[in-house]
Structures are given as structure tokens and as C-alpha cells.
């Protein structure tokens, strides 16, 4: 048995998400809404029956992953390589504050996955460290793996796994809070990844 399917699950809403501020490696907490998103989504994630589950060690991902562990009875291990993009001097700032301090840089960052915020890391670098986790899983005989992580990391890792050219990476949209991505091997003989679901989520009640 080899790794055949990946579920990439973003954490629930945080206080920084609600305030429109960039988080990066800052260890923000889930809001009440974010906690409810995790509780409501966890049963859907559990139905994928992952053989192993790994979470970013940042609090917002750990708390989200704990909701999955509660409904599935599975254990979740932590890996700091699944942390969000380090945003350097931009961490904690709003988009307007970034634009004021670095005019035009936000647009450059969004358009070029090789470009990094001052003191931070690029999306290419984020994808490379996340890819290490996936490659290690491939040697551990898991059929399905769940990674609970962050929006920027998930989009970068998805682009890397499906082999998108760098200039097409910005064509992938963002991942909403507590939404997920599903990737599956093409076949037993073709181990390249195929994107099966992107930014999927459970229906909002009411």
C-alpha cells in the first residue's frame, strides 16, 4: 500500500482572519465561529477515513485538527513544516498597512510565487517544505493522509503536487476557512497527482 490520497484541510476562522490581518507564523486563536466551523466540518473530514493525520503546530490548525480527533478517535501529530507562509515584516498588518508601507508589493507577491515579503518566505519555499512531509508519508505505507494546515500552504502545495508551471500558480484561488482540497494518484502505474476537489466544504446551516 502506498500513499494514494491527500486531504488538505484549512483551519477555522481566527481573530486575525476576522480583523483582516495577515498572520503568517503568528500564533492566532480560533474565534467562536472558527471553533464551530471545525466542529461542523470534522465529521465530513472523518468520512475520508485517513490512515494518518498531521497538523501544523500553530494553535489555529491544532485546534481545528482536535475537532477531527474528537469525532474520529484518531491521533494527530504535529509538524512545524506545515506552518503558514512566514510573512516577515508583514505579519500582523492589514492589507492597507502593507500597501502603505510597501506600495505595489502585495500585487507582486500575489502574482509571483518566487517573491517573498521582506524577511519572509516565498510560496515556492513553503511548497518545498510541505512537500518534504508528503514525501515522507509516501514511504510509510499510508493510503490516505490528512494534513491540517493553512490557506497559503495548501494552495502552494497543491500547485506543486499537480505540476503547475510557476506562472500558473496565481490561477489557484484561495481556500476558505475549514474548506479542503482532495488530491488522488492518477492510477497504480501513473503516480502523478490529480486534483479531485478544491475549496470544498460543508453546506452552511440556515
d(CA 186, CA 31): 38
First to last CA, the chain: 42
* Residues 173, 154: Cα–Cα separation, whole Å: 11
Residue 191 annotated as catalytic: no
Instruction: Tell me, yes or no, if 128 is annotated catalytic.
Output: no
| Range list of β-strands (E), the chain | 5-10, 52-55, 77-78, 144-149, 180-185, 193-200
Q: Catalytic pick from 11, 142, 150, 179?
A: 11
State the catalytic residue, choosing from 13, 36, 70, 84.
84
Cβ partners under 8 Å of residue 47, min gap 6: none
Active site residues: 11, 84
Amino acid at each position: 500500500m502506498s500513499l494514494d490520497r491527500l486531504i488538505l484541510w484549512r483551519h477555522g476562522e481566527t481573530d486575525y482572519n476576522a480583523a483582516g490581518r495577515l498572520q503568517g507564523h503568528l500564533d492566532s486563536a480560533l474565534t467562536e465561529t472558527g471553533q464551530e466551523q471545525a466542529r461542523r466540518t470534522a465529521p465530513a473530514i472523518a468520512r475520508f477515513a485517513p490512515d494518518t493525520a498531521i497538523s501544523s503546530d500553530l494553535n489555529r490548525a491544532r485546534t481545528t485538527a482536535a475537532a477531527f480527533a474528537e469525532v474520529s478517535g484518531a491521533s494527530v501529530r504535529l509538524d512545524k513544516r506545515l506552518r503558514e507562509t512566514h510573512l516577515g515584516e508583514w505579519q500582523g498588518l492589514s492589507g492597507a498597512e502593507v500597501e502603505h508601507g510597501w506600495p505595489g508589493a502585495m500585487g507582486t507577491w500575489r502574482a509571483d510565487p518566487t517573491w517573498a515579503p521582506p524577511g519572509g518566505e516565498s510560496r515556492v519555499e513553503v511548497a518545498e517544505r510541505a512537500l518534504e512531509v508528503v514525501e515522507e508519508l509516501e514511504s510509510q505505507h499510508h493510503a490516505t493522509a490528512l494534513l491540517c494546515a493553512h490557506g497559503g500552504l495548501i494552495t502552494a502545495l497543491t500547485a506543486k503536487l499537480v505540476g503547475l508551471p510557476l506562472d500558473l500558480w496565481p490561477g489557484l484561488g484561495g481556500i476558505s476557512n475549514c474548506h479542503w482540497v482532495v488530491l488522488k494518484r492518477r492510477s497504480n502505474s501513473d503516480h502523478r497527482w490529480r486534483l479531485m476537489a478544491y475549496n470544498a466544504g460543508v453546506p452552511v446551516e440556515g
